[in-house]
Amino acid sequence: MAALDIFTVVQGFLTIILFVVALYFWQKLRRGFDISSLKSMRLYTILFLFAIPFIISVLAFIEDDIRTLLQHALYFFLFFAAFVVTFRTYKNYISIRKQDLRDLYEQSGKHPIRLAFAREIIVPELQTLTRKRNELTKLQRTIDLKEKTTNLKEKALQRKEHNSAAKLKSLQQQKEALSTERNTLDKEQMVVRNKKRDAQRNLLDAQAKKAHIERIVLAIKEREQALQKKYEQASQKEANLSIEYKEAKETALKQFKEELTVSKKDMQEKLQAKLADLAKKEKTLDALDKEINELKRTLKTKEHDIAAYEAQKKAAERNIERLTEEQKQLKKAEEAFKKERESLEHTRRELRSESKTFDNERASLLAERAKIKRKNARILTIDRALQEEKEKLRTKYAELDQLMNDTRQKERELARERDTLKRLQKELEHEKARLAAEKKEKNNGNGIKEKKKQGNGKDSSVVADVKEKFDSLFEIFGW
Amino acid sequence: MVIHMGTFEQVIFGLDIFAVIFAFLTVIFMKKLREFELADIERSYNALLFGVFFGFIITFLNLIVYAEQTFPEELASLIPEISTYAGYFHNIIFLVLAPLFGACVLVSIILLRDMQFPVRK
């Protein structure tokens, strides 16, 4: 088993341990404390179930395919359950929130804290928000102005670029025309050079032919001389033979003479032909000389042309120099344009950074807005709690009012009872006074005894009446 | 039990697609639900949200791994080294992401314990 596999298994066990520990803490928390105020309690419970796929992945006795299938199916079901729970809870709470807000909106007209809340919390926040909005609009305006100026600069630069491009184009066209001209001149120069070379070659050929003809003439002259010598020798021989063999060989001599004359004629004919040929060759030589002269003339004209071409070349070179100068100027203009473009890029970058800061500020503003929203939500929850407390207080107040009313009623009854008691006391005193007067009268006569007896009976009835009243009072007060 | 490989991988791939979708939706609705939750448990809730996000990444990487096994030729033509990457993803899931998921859940519960809930009577 590779070290990586072992490590993977160890990490799987570690995950399970982490989930189990978390579950233990969760159970402890649920048993020990009242966590019903937690709104996503079900979600917490579902998330603990995510330990099951990891436990399954560790169980080696389950077949691989079944294990993976179970794992992935569990992932699917658990995420589905988590989604359903979160969605439903969110729906419930959003509807409650809407209802609360509607209630708040409807009842807020009467609530005294509304104005104080608006004055103390919402107005300063609104002021800061409006201040920031104004700042942001100012910033936006400045950015817009900068953008406009940069756009104008960009347009001007584009125009310049366009003009310089047109100039560059015309220069390139001129350059191309010059290069074509130069090419034609080069071609012409080449043609002239070729012709010059041909003329020189022809001259050399003519000279060689002349030399050859001269050599042929010399050879013919040599042959003539040799023939002359032979003729002289033959004549000498003839003379000698004529002397020696005058008679014997007359016929032979005649024949020889005839042959000699024939050969002489032939030789003369040949010589004449050769001479005619030579004359022809001389003529051709003259023609060649003429041609050479013509060629020389054409060479001279070509040289003139070359001189003219040189002048043109110089003019073209001057043009090229001018063009190079213009190119240099263009390059300078391009560099200036590049610099301007760089400065534009720089301003653009600055603008971008400014827009970034603007975005950041906007983001911070949004974050503040979110914070304010959260604060509002908290305030709303606090308000709700306060309302609940107030309602509780109201009910308590109502209970207290009830109690007060009861006590007032009881007080009123007591006062009534007190009045009756006072009245009874007065009656008692009156009776006592009357009894004392009767006692006095008794002391004065016998008939008074009977009166006394009657008086005692009346007295006891009054005391019993008072006692009853006191008992009823005691019952009322619960003594 | 013998399961036909192509069908089996296709089934797992389909399950993973739905798991990824639901995981993503869970993360979104958890984020929305955070607004209604008690302000004091915000840290705990954030840790839980982070854990669920890791769960989402786990399912997403599982999806890539099984996509490579279901359509090996098509994906290999797009990304030639996909099989090696799939192996790496499989290792990353079990070596890093799963323990992080568990750690996030544990941290969330530990932070929840610090809250002063009323004692149950």
Query: A26: which 2 tokens?
Result: 């969760």
Tokens of A172: 């390139």
Q: Where are the beta strands (DSSP E) in A355-400?
A: none
Check A37 against B117: CB less than 8 A apart. Answer: yes
Domain boundary among A53, A77, A99: A99
Is a pLDDT exceeding 90 seen at residue B46?
A: yes
Q: Is the CB of A29 less than 8 angstroms away from the CB of B112?
A: yes
Q: CB A14 to CB B11 under 8 A?
A: no
What is the C-alpha separation between A353 and A20, in angstroms, rounded?
50
- Split at pLDDT 50, 70, 90, the class of B56 is very high
In the chain, the amino acid numbered A427 is: E
Asked if the structure places residue B26 within a domain, the reply is: yes
Provide, as residue numbers in chain A, all residues whose Cβ is less than 8 Å from the Cβ of B39. 374, 378
SS3 per-residue string spanning chain B: CCCCHHHHHHHHHHHHHHHHHHHHHHHHHHHHHCCCCCHHHHHHHHHHHHHHHHHHHHHHHHHHHHHHHHCHHHHHHHCCCHHHHHHHHHHHHHHHHHHHHHHHHHHHHHHHHCCCCCECC
- Tell me the β-bridge partners of A33: B119
Amino acid of residue A438: E
> What does the pLDDT read at residue B81?
85
Residue B118 in domain: no
Dihedral sign for Cα atoms in the order A302, A303, A306, A307:
negative
Sole residue written with tokens 């982070």:
B50
Instruction: Report chain A's mean pLDDT, rounded to a whole number.
Output: 82
The total domain count for chain B is 1
SS3 state of residue A39 = coil
Looking at residue A446, its pLDDT comes to 57
Q: Do B22 and A80 touch (CB under 8 A)?
A: yes
In a domain, A9, yes or no: yes
Q: Which long-range contacts (CB under 8 A, 24 or more apart) does A306-314 make?
A: A306/A189, A306/A192, A309/A185, A309/A188, A309/A189, A312/A181, A312/A185, A313/A182, A313/A185
pLDDT for B1 beyond 50: no
In a domain, B121, yes or no: no
Contact residues on chain B for A58, CB-CB shorter than 8 A: none
* pLDDT tens string A441-452: 877 765 555 555
Dihedral angle, C-alpha A372, A374, A375, A380, nearest 10 °: 120
Q: Do A12 and B94 touch (CB under 8 A)?
A: yes
Is residue B18 one of the residues assigned to a domain? yes
Res A406: pLDDT: 82
Instruction: Name the domain boundary from A83, A99, A115.
Output: A99
Domain presence at residue A84: yes
Q: CA of A29 to nearest chain B CA: how many angstroms apart?
A: 7
Query: Which chain A residue's Cα is nearest to B53?
Result: A79
Give the count of beta carbons closer than 10 Å to the beta carbon of residue A409.
Answer: 11
Asked if A319 and A176 count as a contact pair (C-beta separation under 8 A), the reply is no
Domain limits for position B65: 5-113
Does the structure show a pLDDT above 70 at B121?
Answer: no
33-52 in A: which are within 8 Å (CB) of B? 33-35, 37-40, 43-44, 47-48, 50-51
Chain B partners within 8 Å of A54 (Cβ): 98, 102
Q: Confirm or reject contact between A13 and chain B (CB < 8 A).
A: no
In this complex, is the C-beta atom of B78 within 8 Å of any C-beta atom belonging to chain A?
no
Find the residue in A nearest to B114 (Cα).
A29
Query: Which residues of chain B neighbour A8 with C-beta distances below 8 Å?
Result: 91, 94-95
CA distance B26 to B54: 12
pLDDT at res. B103: 94
Residue A242 backbone phi and psi in degrees, to 5: -60, -35
Asked if B108 reaches chain A (Cβ–Cβ under 8 Å), the answer is yes
Task: Note whether residue B120 is domain-resident.
Answer: no
Domain span at A470: 412-477
Taking the Cβ of residue B11 and every Cβ of chain A, the question of whether any pair is shorter than 8 Å is answered with yes
Instruction: Provide, for chain A, the percentages of residues in helix, strand and coil under a 3-state DSSP scheme, each rounded to the nearest 5.
Output: 95, 0, 5
Residue B103 near residue A19, CB atoms below 8 Å? no
In the block, tokens 């016929």 appear at A251
B:13-72 residues touching chain A, CB 8 A cutoff: 15-16, 18-19, 22-23, 25-26, 29-30, 32-33, 35-39, 41, 45, 48, 51-52, 55, 58-59, 62, 66
Record the pTM.
0.42
What pLDDT is attached to residue A143?
Answer: 92
Quickly tell me which residue has 């007295």 as its tokens: A459
Residue A309's nearest CA partner among A190, A185, A193 is A185
Residue A446 DSSP class = S
Give tens-digit pLDDT for A99-144.
888 877 776 666 666 677 777 788 888 999 999 999 999 999 999 9
> Measured at the alpha carbon of residue A460, what is the angle toward residues A456 and A466, in degrees to the nearest 5?
145
Task: Write out residues in chain A with pLDDT < 70, as ranges.
Answer: 1, 107-114, 245-246, 249, 445-467, 469-479
Instruction: Report if residue A177 sits inside a domain.
Output: no
B29 — pLDDT class (breaks 50, 70, 90): very high
C-beta atoms of A39 and B33 within 8 A: yes
The CA-based dihedral angle spanning residues A173, A174, A180, A186, taken in that order and rounded to the nearest 10 degrees? -160
Does residue A291 lie within any of the structural domains? Answer: no
Closest listed residue to residue A50, CA positions, set B56, B46, B13: B56
Q: Is residue A435 part of a domain?
A: yes
Considering only the beta carbons, identify the residue of A8, A18, A26 that sits closest to B102: A18
DSSP A238-305: HHHHHHHHTTTTHHHHHHHHHHHHHHHHHHHHHHHHHHHHHHHHHHHHHHHHHHHHHHHHHHHHHHHH
Q: Which residues contact B101 (CB under 8 A, 6 or more apart)?
A: A15, A50, B51, B54, B55, B58
Chain B contacts in chain A segment 93-112 (CB below 8 A): 93-94, 97
A218 is a domain residue: no
A374 touches chain B (CB under 8 A): yes
Here the tokens at position B111 are 């932070």
**Does some domain include residue A386?**
no
* pLDDT for the residue numbered A305: 80
Q: Provide the pLDDT for residue B2.
A: 45
Please identify, among A82, A99, A116, the residue that sits at the C-terminal boundary of a domain: A99
Q: At what angle do helices B98-113 and A41-48 cross, to 10 degrees?
A: 140
pLDDT score of A459: 54
Backbone angles phi, psi at A267, to 5 degrees: -60, -40
Cβ separation of A73 and B15 shorter than 8 Å? yes
Query: Does residue A463 belong to any structural domain of this protein?
Result: yes
The answer for residues whose C-beta is within 8 angstroms of residue A160's C-beta and 6 or more apart is A333, A337
Q: For B67-117, write each residue's pLDDT tens digit.
A: 888 888 888 888 888 888 888 888 899 899 999 999 999 999 999 888 877
The domain total for chain A is 2
